[in-house]
Structure formats: C-alpha cells, structure tokens
Structure 1
C-alpha cells in the first residue's frame, strides 16, 4: 500500500478531534470527509477505516509508541507509525515518521499481547468489570469479538420489497450480498461499500441495521391492527421494523426524550413508506400517563452502556466511565417501573439493551418482576446474544406478559 500524504494528514486531524477534543468518531469522519470533494471511494474508505482502527487500538498503540494524552501531533504520527508497522505497510520517507523503531514496535507488541487489557486495548476498570460480570473465559472471548470490525448488514423493508428482489436490485448496482440463516430480513454485504448512495436506499427498500438488532422487533410479536408503543425509539431503526411486522396497519407510537431524534425518524418513515407511525416527545410525565393501560405491545429499547456494540462504536471505550454504568442502571429500572404502565392487561412487553452485562439485563428484569409494579408481569422468554457466538452485536431481549 502506498500512503498519500493528504489522506494520512486527514487521519491525524480526525484522531486529534476524537482523542483530544472528545468528539464522536462517526461525526468526525463525516466532517473530515467533506474536506476534499476530489477524494474517491478508496480514499474515503482509507480515512474512515484507518481512523476507526487506530481509535479501536488506542491504548495498545499508545503504550507501544510511549505516547500520552493529550496527544501532540508528533504523538499522533507515532500512533500512525505503529499502525503501519503492525500491518506491514512500508513507512514513507516523511519527516513526521523519521526514525520509526520498527523492531522495537514489533517486540513491544509481542510483549503486550500477553496481557488482555493491552491486547484488547481497553481501560483497566472495563477489563475488571467485564471479568467480574462474565467470568474470565467468556469475557476474554467476548472482548476479542467486539474488537473486530462490524460487518455491514441490511434489513429488507418488506413493506416495499421482498428480500430476493432487493438482493437482485443491489447486485445490479454493484453491491453483492449474502443471506444470513436465522435472520429472515437480513442481507450481509460481501464487501464494504457506501450503500447510502444507491437508488435502492433512496427508494426506501432497506435500512442498515445489525443482525442482532433485527431480532428485537420480531421478539415482541406485534400484529397488524394493534396499538404498539416504542417508548425509547431514538431515530427509529426498530420502529420501522415494527411497522413492517405490522404490515403498516394499526397504530405505532414512537416516543423519545429527544425531539431531534424523532424528526430523523419521520424522515426515515417517509422514505420507507411507513404511514402508521406517530411520534410523541416525552417532555413530561403526562405523555406516559395518557397511555396508561392502552398498548397491546410495548418495546422498551432502554438506554445502556452500549458494551455490546463496540464493534461499530470503538470510541465509546474511551468515553465510557464506571459511574455512567451505575447511573444508566438506575435509568433502566426507572423506565421498567414507569413505562411498563402503558401496557394493558393481556399485552406483551420487550425490554432490550445492546449490552452484554447481566446487571443491565437479566438482573434488571428480575428486579422489576420482584417489585410491586412488576407483580402483574411474568417472564415468557429471554435471550442474551454474545458477539463471540453470533458474530454480530451483543444484545439482550426479554419478553414479558402482563397477566389478566
């Protein structure tokens, strides 16, 4: 691989914004890629994938490079040099990369790879938390799986098209996909490409959604004609899947604390041809109370640590703090206690997170069932998905029924 100075400098700029300025990696990549309209698909892919790679392995690379935060520009080039050496890329003859100690880098890598917190490039507290929650064997397997690059998975919008027809249309646009056994609406890209520029995307024939996330809506068993509430809808990935499960019939209420996210959902719903969705911002407790005992189905896709989606959000390892995990667990239980009141007798509710920690998942459900508000509910089934066994995101889902 021949390195181009302007592309490498773009990576260094991106790393500075992510590491030193605390900006989110996905937003930084979007910003940096707008710098030069002459960059082609390969150039843009190099910037995005190299940046994400160095973000993913920040602790390991910084340890090898003997670089410390806040990173100076020379330190960021040292991180980049480590990335080059460990990938067998020839170091160019640039002054920023002069004197790169290739043998020492390889030696330090071999040495540090024997220690899990360095090998998997995670903070000390997170390594201890994961081992305590999952046990050493499972945590070792899981964090290794979560450090692999996420594959691009599409969800067929069955309101508009069948999966086989979508696959053929995408092939005509130069995007080859494969089906995934056990995931009826999913297509996996054979090769990473920008699917958002395709006519199929513009026509609302698919959404990008990880395979594990695609299991949540079917778990709720929503039927056409029901009143369904998605109480933590966000930008609506699962809301749109629920709409397809409901065949665009009935009433689907998408709720969130943030109006800005619901606005994005409206745009996506129009593109998807979804017309049974209405949005409601949760700006007071009255919004929830108005829906007490009214929903036949209720989805609580609760905010969480996000430890199951490190594949696609590697920068969250560096933003996450132990105090946040404790705080978000209180939020989760509050959502279970209060939002569950929207479910009517005989209805079904799914509590879901993109976490692998039992204290955010099974233990939260158990706490709820043992509480006064949870006495009318029973656990029908639950499922914990691990990246190490599925190959996709880590997820948890619990289906609860409100007894008559």
Structure 2
C-alpha cells in the first residue's frame, strides 16, 4: 500500500479534533469524508478505517511512540508511523517520518502486548472495573472482541420486502450478503460497502442494525394489534423493528426526552412505511402518567455506559468516566421505577442495555424486583449477549411480567 499525502493529512486533522477537541469520532469522520469530491470509495475507506484504528488503539500507540496527551501534530504523526509500521506499510520519505525506529516499534509492541490495559488500549479504571464485574478470563476475552472492527449487519424491513428479495437486489449491485442463523431478519455484508447510497436503502427496504440489537424487539413477545410503548426510543432503531413485527397493526407510542431524535424517527418511519408509530416528546411527567396501566408491552432500552458497543464507538472508551457510570445507574433505576407503571396487569416489560456490565444489567433488575414498584412483577427470563461468544455487540435484555 502506498500512502497518499492528502489522505494522511485528513487523518491527522481528524485525530486532532477527536483527541484534543473532544469531538465524536463518527461526526468527525462524516465531515472528513466530504472533504474532497475526487476521493473514491477506497480513499474514503482509508481515511475512516485509519482514523478509527488509531482512536481504538490510542493508548497502545501513544505508549509505543512515547508521546503524551494533549498530542501536538508531531505526536500524532509519530502515532501514525506506529500504526503504519505495525500494518507493514512502507513509510514514504516525508519529514514527518524522519528517524522512525521501525524495529524498536515492533519490539515495544511485543513487550507492551503482555499488559492487558495497554494491549487493549483502556483507561486503568475501566480495565479494573471490567475485571471486577466479569472476572479476569471473561473480561480478557470480551475486551479483545470489543476491539475488533464490527461487521455491517442489515435488518430487513419486512413491511416492504423479504430477506431473499433484498439479498438478490443487493447482489445485483455487487453487494454480497449472507443469512445469520437465529437472526430471522438479518443480513450480514461479506465485505464493507456504502449501503446508504443504494436505492434499496432510500426506499426503506432495510436499516443498518447490529444482530444483537435485533434480538431486543423479538424478546418483547409482541403481536399485531397491541399497544406498545418504546420509552427511550431515540431515533427509533428498535421502534421500526417493532412496527415491522406488528405488521403496522396496533399502536406504538415512541417516547423520548430529546425532541430532535423523535423528529429523525418520524423521517425514518416514513421511509420504512411504518404507519403505527406515534412519537411523543417527554416534556413533563404528565406524558408518562397518562399511560399508567395502559400498555400491553413496554420496552425500556435504557441509557447506559455503552460498553457492549465499543467496536463501533471506540472513542467512547476515552469519553467514559467512573462518575458518569454511577449517575447512569441511578438514572436506569429511576426509569425502571417510573416507566414500569405504564404496563397494564398481565402485560410485559423488557429492560435492555448495550452494556456488558452486570451492575447495569441483572443487578438493576434484581434491585427493581425487590422494590415497592417491582413487587407487582415476576421475572420471566433474561439474555446476556457477550461479544466474544456471539461475534456481535454486547447486550442485555430481561423480560418481566406484571401480575394480574
């Protein structure tokens, strides 16, 4: 592989924004990819994947390059040189790469790879917490899996097409996919491709949604004609899945505290042909109180640490703080206490997170079930999805039933 100056400069600019200005990697990369209209798909892939790679391995590369934050541009070029050397890419004769000690880089890599928190590029506190909650063996396997690049998984919109038809349509565009056993609506891309530019996406035939995330709507045990409340709907990934499972029959009330996310959900629902979704902005407690004892099913896809989705959000490792984790656990319990009151007698509730930490998952459910609000519920089943076992994102979901 030959390194091109303008692509490398774009990567360094992106890393400056992510590491030094605290910007989100996905937003920065989105902007970078619009930088030069002459770039082809391979050029854009290089910028995106290299930037994500260096973000993912920030601590390891910084230790090998012997640089410390805040990183100046020279520091970032040194980290880039580490990335290229470890990838076996020949460094061009540019001043940024003068005196790069290639053999020393490989030696340092071998030496530092014996220390998990450096090898897996983690803050000390997060490594200690993962080991404490999951045990040494499982955490070692899990964090390694969470550092791998995520596959691109599509969820077929069954309101508009079938898995077989969509597979054929994408194949005609040169995009090969495969079915996933035990994921009835999923197609996995054999190679990464820009699926968002396809007519199939524009016509609402699919959404991009990880396989683990696709398990949540199924777990809710819904049937067409029910009244379902998606309490933390956001931009509606799971809401849209619920609509397709309900065949557009019944009612889905999509709640969120962020009005702009619900606006995006409306736009996506229109593209998906999902007509039974009613977005409602939670601007006061009245919105929730009006729904007490009214819902057949309630989904609480709770805000969480996001430790299960680090493969697709590698910069989250550096943004996450121990104090935030304590706050979010309080929020999770408050949401469970309040939103569970929307379930009618005989109805069901799913509590879900994209975290692998038991303190956000089964421990929250246990705490709820022993509380005053939770005494009216019985535990039906739960599912713990770990990335190193499934090959997909880490997730948790618990199904509870309200006593009649």
TM-score class, shorter = over 0.9
Partner of 2:193: 193
Partner of 1:372: 372
> Where do 5+ consecutive residues of structure 1 fail to align?
none
Separation of aligned partners in 2, 1:17 and 1:221: 44
Separation of aligned partners in 2, 1:8 and 1:64: 20
Separation of aligned partners in 2, 1:278 and 1:99: 61
Partner of 1:307: 307
Partner of 1:141: 141
**Per-residue deviation, residues 55-81 of structure 1 (Å, max 9, x unmatched):** 000000000001111100000000100
1:35 aligns with 2:35: yes
**Per-residue deviation, residues 158-208 of structure 1 (Å, max 9, x unmatched):** 000010000000101111000000000000000000000001001100000
1:110 aligns with 2:103: no
1:401 aligns with 2:392: no
Partner of 2:388: 388
Separation of aligned partners in 2, 1:14 and 1:324: 26
SS in 1 for 2:117: helix
Partner of 1:278: 278
Partner of 1:57: 57
List structure 1 runs of 4+ shifted beyond 6 angstroms.
none
Separation of aligned partners in 2, 1:100 and 1:379: 59
1:354 aligns with 2:366: no
Q: Please show how residues 101-250 of structure 1 align to structure 2 within 5 Å.
A: 101-250=101-250
Separation of aligned partners in 2, 1:336 and 1:126: 25
The alpha carbon displacement at 1:225 in A equals 0.6
SS in 1 for 2:274: coil
Separation of aligned partners in 1, 2:137 and 2:208: 32
The alpha carbon displacement at 1:97 in A equals 1.1
C-alpha RMSD over aligned residues: 0.4
SS in 1 for 2:373: coil
Aligned residues between the structures: 404
**Per-residue deviation, residues 72-99 of structure 1 (Å, max 9, x unmatched):** 0000000100000000000110011111
SS in 2 for 1:150: coil
Separation of aligned partners in 2, 1:381 and 1:14: 44
**Per-residue deviation, residues 207-228 of structure 1 (Å, max 9, x unmatched):** 0000000000000011111110
Range with bigger deviation, 29-38 or 144-153 = 29-38
> Where do 5+ consecutive residues of structure 2 fail to align?
none
The alpha carbon displacement at 1:34 in A equals 1.3
Separation of aligned partners in 2, 1:173 and 1:284: 47
Separation of aligned partners in 1, 2:149 and 2:166: 25
Separation of aligned partners in 1, 2:243 and 2:106: 52
1:44 aligns with 2:44: yes
Separation of aligned partners in 1, 2:69 and 2:281: 39
The alpha carbon displacement at 1:357 in A equals 0.4
The alpha carbon displacement at 1:398 in A equals 0.1
Partner of 2:266: 266
Partner of 2:19: 19
Separation of aligned partners in 2, 1:99 and 1:259: 53
Separation of aligned partners in 1, 2:67 and 2:8: 18
Q: TM-score, normalised by structure 2?
A: 1.00
